[in-house]
Structure 1
C-alpha cells in the first residue's frame, strides 16, 4: 500500500470514528453553531497534550484555536497537521500570552509535570476551564495550591485520569463495593514496563535550534541542556517528574483507593532503586515496592522496568485480594478468581469481562459537557480526585527518598517525621514562586 493511500484510509477512519462519536453525544454537544462552540487551546503538544487535543476534536463542540509549545519544531509540525485538516490556529511560545487571548474558553495542559501547577493556576485565574494532565503536581504543596485555585475560581478542571471514564473500571469497582469478595486486607497495584530499557548516558549539548530551553526549565534548577532530560524522558528525573510512581501510579493507585474508599494512609514505606540499570542516565528507581498502611488493610504499589511479567501475568493492574476471591482489573478488562477451601470455590468465578469503550474520548467529552452545563459534580475526574491520588503517589516517592517509614498526620496534613516534611514543598528556581494554597 502506498503512503498516500495509507494516509487517506487513516484520515477516512478518523472521520468515521468522529461521526460515530458525534451521533452518540448528548444533544447539548451536537449540531452546534460555530458561535456556541468551545474554543480550546493546548499548551505542550508533543505527547499527551496532542493526544488529548486529538480526542477532544472528535467532538463537534470543540474548536481548536491556538497551540503553545517551547519547541518551535513541534509547534510548527502540529500547526501544519491541523492546517491539513482545515484548522487554522494561532501559535505561541509563551503560555501567558495564550492565556491573554479572550477568545479561548478552555486549555489543555500537556507539559512536563513541573509546569502543571503554575500553568493550571494561571489558567483558572485567567478565567479558563482546564484539562490538565496527570499527575496534577510534582509536589504535595503544588497539589494543594492547585486545588485551592480551582475552588477559589470555580472553574471546570478535569484531570487526565481517563480510566475514570471507562465503563469496565466502574463495573469492577461496583463489584468490589458489593462485598462479594469478602474482607479485603490487601490491594496490589503494579506497572511492569517491559518496553522501558536502559537510557544511555549522553553528554550535555547545545540547545537545539527552535527550543526555548530557559522557559522549558521554568521553576526547575538551571542545568546545561541534555537530550535525555528533554521531551518524553523528562519523566525519569526528579527535577521534572516522579518516575513510574507518578506516571503510572496515579492511574492505578487511583482505583485502589477508590475501591477501598480510602482517604489518607496512616504510614508509608518504600524500598527499591536502580537495580536493573544502575549506571544509566535515569534518576528515578527502575524497581520499587511501596506499602501504604490504612486501618484494616494495606495497599501495595510495585513497579519494574524491562520486565513484562507482573502479578497475574499482567504488565499492569490492580488486584483486590479478598477472603473469598480476588478481582483483577486492568485497562483491558476484569475478572474474579475464587479462593478455594477443601477443593471448592468460596464464590462464583467471573470470567474476564473486556473493555467496551475508549476512555480518552469519553473523558474529553465529559469535560466539554461540564463546560456547557457548569455542573462540576458531573466531572469524572475533578481536581480533588487528581489531588488525592497524586498526594498518595508523592508520599511514596518521599518515603523512598528518605528511606524511612513515614507516618501521616491527617489533621495537619503533615508527616510526623521532619525528613518527610522537608520534601512537601518544592524548591523553585529562576525567580518562580510556588502559588499560595
Structure 2
C-alpha cells in the first residue's frame, strides 16, 4: 500500500537557514577549564532560524542562554531576534562569524537538510558542542564524515530525535530489545513518500536579505523560486521527502528496538519500478529480521513489531500491546503528559536537557551522532532502492553496496564548488 501525502506531509519549508561558506574554520577544541561548570549557564548560538528553530528557542532549558542567531536569510534572523530575543542577541548572516565567538559554548543547527552537515563540521572545528535537527544528512557518506569530525574534536553531539528521550518509547524499545516479545517475525513501518525531482521552475526575484547562493550550498544551482526556498523538503536536491523527515523518527525506533544502533539492514527490495519514489520497500537485517515499509496508515513515529509472544505498536510518546497487559510497568502520568503537543508543539526541552547535561559530563547523549547517522542511512537506502528500482545488497560495516557501482555512486552527491566536504577533517 502507498502512503499518500496528507496533512501530516506538509512541507516545513520555513526552516530556511544559513549554510556553510567555502573555507573551513580551524580552531582547537575547548579546553577542560573552559567547559561550563555545574552552576554556569551554557551559552548558545542558533544557526538557522526557521520554524523548527523557533520552537527550539521557545523550549530551550533554563541552563541555556542564547547569545546569537544566524541565517543566510538575514531578515528571518532579525525577526527572531526581535520576537524571541527582545533585540538582545547578536545577528549574523555568515555562520562562521558566530562560530568564531569564544563566548559561545554550543550551537543549535536547524538548517535545511542539504546544508546541515557542513555547518556541523565547521562547528566541530570551532570547538562547539552541537544539537542538530533531524534528518541528520542528505546522503550517506557525509554522515560518516560528520561522525569522524565529532570524534576527532571530542564534541558532544545530540541529534534532534527527541523520542529517544521519551519514557514511553524507551520502555517499549527496551522490552523488545531484551527479547521479551520473543523472536521478531516482522516489523511493519509506514510507506513514507519520497522526494520529487526538479524539472524546471520559473525564475522569481530573490527576496531582499537572502543570500541565495549560500542557501543552495552544495546543491546544484537553480534559479530562485519560492517552491524550492520554502518547499525544500519535497525535493531530491535538498531532502528525502517524508522518507527522511518522519522516517528519521520511525526508522530510529526500529533501530533502537532491534538493538541495531551500530549497524543497518543488508538487503533492500523496492516494490515498484525505477524512480517510483512512493513505492513500498522491504528490508532485512543480517540476523534475518524483516522490515517492511508498507503501511498507508501506520504509526509515523514508530512501527508495529510482531513477535512470538504478541504485538507492540510504537508511536511518539505512546505504545499499544496485544495482549494488552504485555508491558505492565508504565512511567508516571506526568512523564507522559510533558511530551504532549498540547504542552509544547514537537516538544524537545527534555531532549535538550540531556544534551546540556552531557556537555557538562562529556558523556554521549541519548541520540549521539552515530545513532543519528545509522538511522537516517536506512531512509537513504530506501530512497536509493526506489530510485534504481531493484534489489540492493548493503554492507553496513564498510557502508557500501556490494557489487553495484551505480548504487554506490548514490552514496555520495556531487557538491557545488566552494561547498564541498573538507578533504581533511
TM-score normalized with structure 2 length = 0.80
* Mapped pair 1:291 → 2:282: yes
**What is residue 62 of structure 2 aligned with on the other side?**
60
Q: CA deviation at 1:431?
A: 2.4
Q: CA deviation at 1:53?
A: 2.4
Q: CA deviation at 1:110?
A: 0.3
**What is residue 409 of structure 2 aligned with on the other side?**
422
Q: How does 1:66-145 map to 2 (within 5 A)?
A: 66-84=68-86, 88-145=88-145
**What is residue 355 of structure 2 aligned with on the other side?**
367
Query: Which ranges of 4 or more aligned residues in structure 1 deviate by more than 4 Å?
Result: 28-31, 347-354
Structure 1 residues 72 and 302, CA gap change in structure 2 (3 angstroms): farther
Structure 1 residues 411 and 318, CA gap change in structure 2 (3 angstroms): closer
Q: CA deviation at 1:29?
A: 9.9
1:234 to 232, 248, 260: 232
**What is residue 324 of structure 1 aligned with on the other side?**
309
Question: When the two structures are aligned, how many residues end up with a matched partner?
Answer: 370
Structure 1 residues 187 and 44, CA gap change in structure 2 (3 angstroms): same
By relative contact order (CA 8 Å, sep 6+), the higher-ranking structure is: 2
Q: CA deviation at 1:429?
A: 0.6
Matches of 2:306 and 2:410, distance apart in 1: 32
2:369 to 378, 383, 391: 383
Structure 1 residues 80 and 284, CA gap change in structure 2 (3 angstroms): farther
Matches of 2:295 and 2:51, distance apart in 1: 22
Conserved? CA contact 1:114–1:137, under 8 Å = yes
**What is residue 37 of structure 1 aligned with on the other side?**
41
Structure 1 residues 268 and 419, CA gap change in structure 2 (3 angstroms): same
Structure 1 residues 171 and 350, CA gap change in structure 2 (3 angstroms): closer
2:312 is paired with a residue whose SS is: strand
Q: CA deviation at 1:178?
A: 4.1
1:258 is paired with a residue whose SS is: helix
Matches of 1:47 and 1:79, distance apart in 2: 14
**What is residue 381 of structure 2 aligned with on the other side?**
395
Matches of 2:366 and 2:301, distance apart in 1: 22
Matches of 2:135 and 2:422, distance apart in 1: 17
Listed as ranges, the gaps of 5+ residues in structure 2 are: 1-34, 340-346
Q: CA deviation at 1:83?
A: 3.7
**What is residue 47 of structure 1 aligned with on the other side?**
51
**What is residue 150 of structure 1 aligned with on the other side?**
150
Conserved? CA contact 1:100–1:126, under 8 Å = yes
Conserved? CA contact 2:276–2:386, under 8 Å = no
**What is residue 357 of structure 1 aligned with on the other side?**
338
Matches of 1:129 and 1:31, distance apart in 2: 16
Q: Which 10-residue stretch deviates more, 149-158 or 74-83? A: 74-83
1:288 is paired with a residue whose SS is: coil
Calculate the aligned-residue CA RMSD, in Å. Answer: 2.8
**What is residue 221 of structure 2 aligned with on the other side?**
222
TM-score normalized with structure 1 length = 0.78
Matches of 1:418 and 1:133, distance apart in 2: 31
Structure 1 residues 273 and 408, CA gap change in structure 2 (3 angstroms): closer
Matches of 1:238 and 1:162, distance apart in 2: 25
Q: How does 1:124-203 map to 2 (within 5 A)?
A: 124-190=124-190, 203=202
Q: Which 10-residue stretch deviates more, 261-270 or 95-104? A: 261-270
* Mapped pair 1:208 → 2:207: yes
Structure 1 residues 93 and 296, CA gap change in structure 2 (3 angstroms): same
Conserved? CA contact 2:44–2:107, under 8 Å = yes
Which structure: greater strand fraction? 1
Q: CA deviation at 1:72?
A: 2.3
Listed as ranges, the gaps of 5+ residues in structure 1 are: 1-27, 275-282, 305-309, 339-346
Conserved? CA contact 2:191–2:280, under 8 Å = no
**What is residue 409 of structure 1 aligned with on the other side?**
395
**What is residue 258 of structure 1 aligned with on the other side?**
256
